Structure 1
Amino acid sequence: MRVDRARGTPWDRQTGLRRRRECVMKLVDETIQCDIQIQDVEVMLLEDKVRDVRRQLVQAFNQNEKLVTALSEARERMGLLKEEVDRLSAPPSTYGVYLSGNDDGTVNVLFQGRKAKVNVHPAIKSDDIKPGQELILNDSLNVVQTAGYEVQGEVVILREQLDPERAVVTLRADEQKIGIIADPLRSLRLKPGDHLLMDTRSGYLLEKLPKSEVEDLSLEEVPDIGYEQIGGLGTQIEAIKDAVELPYLYADYYKEHKLTPPKGVLLYGPPGCGKTMIAKAVANNLAEKISEKRGEKIKGFFLNIKGPELLNKYVGETERKIREIFVKAKE
């Protein structure tokens, strides 16, 4: 059998083919592995890009939130600035004093010394407006807001209350005028001689004032001195008891026998002889006896008046202060 050396034996050809096939398969496997590795690398690169994009999106979202917040704050500041500009550029508001209401929803106010009928803002209830109260008016003289009451004016003295809404008062130089009682005073008990604050522009009586003149001249205290603490003045004490205590304790007997009690007692003597102590003892003892008679606790008061300070160069002022002192004592 002749063998072709160039082609080799059949066994050699099969072996070579098998080896080539194995090489091809190995190359195919290596190619597939390379493709897989390339794909893995591409996936990793894509994942990195996706993460970068997501990170950029988060940063952009955060920046967008900050921008939205900054824009909102800027818009609010612009709104506040606009309100401030509008407020500063608005025309000045004026004040009026409420007089009365009308059936059509309007109100009568006193503005610059004259009466005016004006409209009221719908948000303001008519029950919220009281007589004598100040009202804020816009440039069209319409009520846009309620205010308080005037806190300054002239001090006047109540002479007589005509009705729940009007009273006669005394001004300077004994000039008399009829004033309108404002709402804060209508719930108080007013007595002749009370000091009141009056707005002379509107004629309203706004506030009850303390009687400072009388308070400065008197020292009010509750006495705790008894007759047993005073020595050597037994005769005087008995005379004072008969003149002061008996008319109070036995007023019915005085009326029955038509006896006229004394209007007052004058104690005189040098300093330190016991005049003030006797007066305090009378007030204390009389309060105790009235308490026993009525069965209720009665407190005695002693007013120590600074006499020289009552004097005044103006005619009638000294008498007026004395009258106020007696009014305070009766209270």
Structure 2
Amino acid sequence: MSQEHTPGSPTGPTTASAEQLQERLDRTHRQLDALRQRSRQLEQQLQTAGTNNQRMARLLETTRNQMDQLRQALHADGQAPFTFGTVIGYREKHELVEGREIEATTGPGVDILHAGRKMRVSVSPLLDPAELRPGLEVLLNEHLAVVAVLPAESTGELARVKEVLPDGRLVILSRGEDERVVRLALGEGDVSVRVGDAVTVDLRTGTATEVVPLSEVEDVVLEETPDVSYADIGGLSEQIEQIRDAVELPFLHSDLYREHGLSAPKGILLYGPPGCGKTLIAKAVASSLQGGGAPGGHKNGEVAAPRSFFLNIKGPELLNKYVGETERHIRVIFSRARERASAGHPVVVFFDEMEALFRTRGTGVSSDVETTIVPQLLAEIDGVESLDNVIVIGASNREDMIDPAILRPGRLDVKIRVRRPGAAGAREILGIHLGGRLPLRADFVAEQGGHASAVQALVEAVVARLYPAESEPRLRLVHADGSRTDFAAADFISGAVLSNIVDRAKKSAIKEFLASDRRPDAKGLTEDQLLAAAEAELRDQEDLVNTVDPQEWARVLGAAPSPVVGVERLAGGPS
């Protein structure tokens, strides 16, 4: 049978305890949530405080820096001012000489120039005395002691070096022709000083502090080693043989010359009409001295020559409106030549258009500058006699205008006339310009049986046009005495003219090829183009006689000295 629960049974208190525990649990959860919320609030406050701390730290750092700057500014404002001085020289400590000097003068010190006064002051022990080179600037404190070394001034007065003394001092020319002796105060690794160089000088302290590289002299002295050989020159075999005998033998066989008591010639004059190869011969001389003579190597027993130098003097740029400047440039040129020659290098000093500078004295129209330029060159050439590796080569097409003192034996010893090329010479020159890989018209090459035969046919065609069997005069000069001088086509020919004929024909071939829309059968040089170019070039040469002074042109052509009163074109020439 079932039992009924009564109010006094144990079930009632159990239910009440559970409700209390539940209520306590809920209260605990609410307290936990409140604590979590408080924790989040504290974290936010902590982050805010950290940010404020960082901002405060930056502010404090900025304030500290500003305070340091203010402190440094206050310290600098309270310092005594520094003054500048220029070093003259450092004096080492020395023993006292009793009865002649006081002890204060025996200590180490440096001589400076300060405010126009020469003073001897002390040096801070923190400085190395080796740094105190003449010409440098130094800082002086309020007691006039050297506390810092500064670089030398980068500006100053320019002077020219006239002579370098054995002890390293320089004789300079400043403010015109004022000569001074100064000390050289260059640092380690600086370039050496040569005669003619420009240097920055401090005339107060007597020091030269810097070599200034100016292009003034270098522009008129083109120093190069030419790559022209005798094989590149055609029609001048006789002149080349003469100049090789005059130049190569003394340089390449100096022992034999000394054994026979002979000396190398000091100078060579190449004269003749313009465009006939005088400059090319001079370049080939320098190249042969370096390469040992003829192309193809040295002969057995010959020693390879050292590197040679070719000083190509631009004559007109030597002229200067200031008195003495042109003579100074000439001195610098020969000084450069002596430097190279003293090292064992053959040096060729080449004066092109020599009559422009060294004409006969007393023939000038205005300033008669040659009265001082010619003696300067004579003195330099005579001074070259102590050197074994320098030769002067002059080129001119008006040798009658050069001062006779330059042309006498002992100065320009060898005189070689470069004549206009004859038919054989023209063949050589044209063969050089038409040889190689020059494209010729394909049908013409096939007709001649090969490229070499075609080139030879073109050469013969041009030579036959310029040097006909029966020479017909193209131009006549009428002289005041009634005499007449006739000129045929050959009288206008030179190596430059032949080169220009080939160049004209090449341009015509290119234009014809382009006009044909680049057809392969229209490419290359033809005989008609060469002959047309030859005729056009001859007309230009004849026109030169009318466009310039006929009398001067007659002298260049070698006509009679009588004045020219007229120029006639003959039937043999163009209409």
- TM-score with structure 2 setting the length: 0.47
CA separation of 1:271/1:92 partners in 2, compared to 1, >3 Å: closer, same or farther? farther
Do the aligned partners of 1:156 and 1:195 also contact (CA within 8 Å) in 2? yes
2:277 maps to amino acid: G
Which of 316, 320, 326 aligns to 2:324? It is 316
Partner of 2:337: 329
| SS of residue in 2 equivalent to 1:173 | coil
Tell whether 2:101 aligns with 1:97.
no
List per-residue Cα deviations over 1:171-217 (Å, max 9, x = no partner). Answer: 24332222121142786544444332212232211122335332111
CA separation of 1:308/1:32 partners in 2, compared to 1, >3 Å: closer, same or farther? closer
Q: Percent identity?
A: 39
CA distance in structure 1 between the partners assigned to 2:26 and 2:208 by the alignment: 102
Using the TM superposition, give the Cα deviation of residue 124 of structure 1 relative to its aligned residue in structure 2, in angstroms. 3.2
Which structure has the larger Rg over C-alpha atoms? 1
Using the TM superposition, give the Cα deviation of residue 83 of structure 1 relative to its aligned residue in structure 2, in angstroms. 4.0
Partner of 2:362: none
CA distance in structure 2 between the partners assigned to 1:95 and 1:75 by the alignment: 35
CA distance in structure 1 between the partners assigned to 2:61 and 2:49 by the alignment: 18
Moved more, 147-156 or 94-103: 94-103
Tell whether 2:248 aligns with 1:245.
yes
Tell whether 2:146 aligns with 1:143.
yes
Do the aligned partners of 1:156 and 1:198 also contact (CA within 8 Å) in 2? no
Moved more, 300-309 or 89-98: 89-98
Moved more, 276-285 or 142-151: 142-151
CA distance in structure 1 between the partners assigned to 2:108 and 2:16 by the alignment: 104
Do the aligned partners of 1:196 and 1:208 also contact (CA within 8 Å) in 2? yes
Partner of 1:163: 167
Partner of 1:9: none
CA separation of 1:33/1:315 partners in 2, compared to 1, >3 Å: closer, same or farther? closer
Do the aligned partners of 1:102 and 1:108 also contact (CA within 8 Å) in 2? no
Partner of 2:281: 278
CA separation of 1:225/1:77 partners in 2, compared to 1, >3 Å: closer, same or farther? same
Partner of 2:61: 72
Do the aligned partners of 1:152 and 1:199 also contact (CA within 8 Å) in 2? no
Tell whether 2:125 aligns with 1:110.
no
Which of 278, 288, 292 aligns to 2:291? It is 288
CA separation of 1:114/1:38 partners in 2, compared to 1, >3 Å: closer, same or farther? same
Q: How many residues align?
A: 314
CA distance in structure 2 between the partners assigned to 1:88 and 1:281 by the alignment: 73
CA distance in structure 2 between the partners assigned to 1:294 and 1:324 by the alignment: 34
Using the TM superposition, give the Cα deviation of residue 282 of structure 1 relative to its aligned residue in structure 2, in angstroms. 0.8
CA distance in structure 2 between the partners assigned to 1:101 and 1:207 by the alignment: 23
Which of 298, 307, 319 aligns to 2:315? It is 307
Using the TM superposition, give the Cα deviation of residue 322 of structure 1 relative to its aligned residue in structure 2, in angstroms. 0.9
CA separation of 1:158/1:197 partners in 2, compared to 1, >3 Å: closer, same or farther? farther
Partner of 2:230: 227
CA distance in structure 1 between the partners assigned to 2:42 and 2:263 by the alignment: 114
Gaps of 5+ in 2: 1-5, 94-106, 341-575
Using the TM superposition, give the Cα deviation of residue 266 of structure 1 relative to its aligned residue in structure 2, in angstroms. 1.5
CA distance in structure 1 between the partners assigned to 2:263 and 2:172 by the alignment: 35
Using the TM superposition, give the Cα deviation of residue 71 of structure 1 relative to its aligned residue in structure 2, in angstroms. 1.1
CA separation of 1:93/1:271 partners in 2, compared to 1, >3 Å: closer, same or farther? farther
CA distance in structure 2 between the partners assigned to 1:185 and 1:169 by the alignment: 22
Moved more, 151-160 or 180-189: 180-189
CA separation of 1:91/1:279 partners in 2, compared to 1, >3 Å: closer, same or farther? farther
1:100 maps to amino acid: Y
List per-residue Cα deviations over 1:67-106 (Å, max 9, x = no partner). Answer: 0222112321443355467668977644322221444564
Partner of 1:12: none
1:192-271 to 2 correspondences below 5 Å: 192-210=195-213, 212-271=215-274
CA separation of 1:29/1:311 partners in 2, compared to 1, >3 Å: closer, same or farther? closer
CA distance in structure 1 between the partners assigned to 2:189 and 2:20 by the alignment: 109
Gaps of 5+ in 1: 1-14
Do the aligned partners of 2:289 and 2:305 also contact (CA within 8 Å) in 1? no
Using the TM superposition, give the Cα deviation of residue 278 of structure 1 relative to its aligned residue in structure 2, in angstroms. 0.6
Partner of 2:49: 60
Do the aligned partners of 1:222 and 1:300 also contact (CA within 8 Å) in 2? yes
2:161 maps to amino acid: I
| SS of residue in 2 equivalent to 1:184 | coil
CA separation of 1:108/1:308 partners in 2, compared to 1, >3 Å: closer, same or farther? same
Do the aligned partners of 2:160 and 2:196 also contact (CA within 8 Å) in 1? no
CA separation of 1:94/1:26 partners in 2, compared to 1, >3 Å: closer, same or farther? same
Using the TM superposition, give the Cα deviation of residue 28 of structure 1 relative to its aligned residue in structure 2, in angstroms. 10
| SS of residue in 2 equivalent to 1:265 | strand
Moved more, 222-231 or 155-164: 155-164
CA distance in structure 2 between the partners assigned to 1:40 and 1:211 by the alignment: 96
Tell whether 2:176 aligns with 1:173.
yes
| SS of residue in 2 equivalent to 1:267 | strand
CA distance in structure 1 between the partners assigned to 2:35 and 2:74 by the alignment: 56
Moved more, 296-305 or 248-257: 296-305
